[in-house]
Amino acid sequence: MDEPVLKNLWDADVPAPDPRFVLAVMARAERRRFRRELAMTVALTAAAAALLALVMPSVEFTWREAPYFSNLAILGILGAITFLVPQLWPARD
Partner 1 sequence: MTQDSAEAAWVQRAQAGSVDAFGRLVQMHQQALRAFLRRLCGNVADADDLAQEAFVFAWEHVARFDAARPFRPWLFGIAWRKYRERKRGWLRLLKRESRSVSDETSCASDPGLKLDLVKATSTLPPEQRAAVLLCLGAEFTHAEAAEALALPLGTVKSHISRGREKLAVLLGGSDG
Q: Residue length, the chain?
A: 93
Sequence-separated (6 or more) residues with CB below 8 Å from residue 70: 59, 62, 63
Sequence-separated (6 or more) residues with CB below 8 Å from residue 53: none
Q: Which of 53, 57, 82, 90 binds partner 1 (CB under 8 A)?
A: 90
Segment contacting partner 1 by CB under 8 A, of 45-53, 63-71, 76-84, 85-93:
85-93
The amino acid occupying position 78 is: L
By CB under 8 A, tell whether 57 contacts partner 1. no
The residue ranges that bind partner 1 (CB under 8 A) are: 1, 3, 6-7, 9-10, 13-19, 21-22, 24-26, 28-29, 32, 90, 92-93
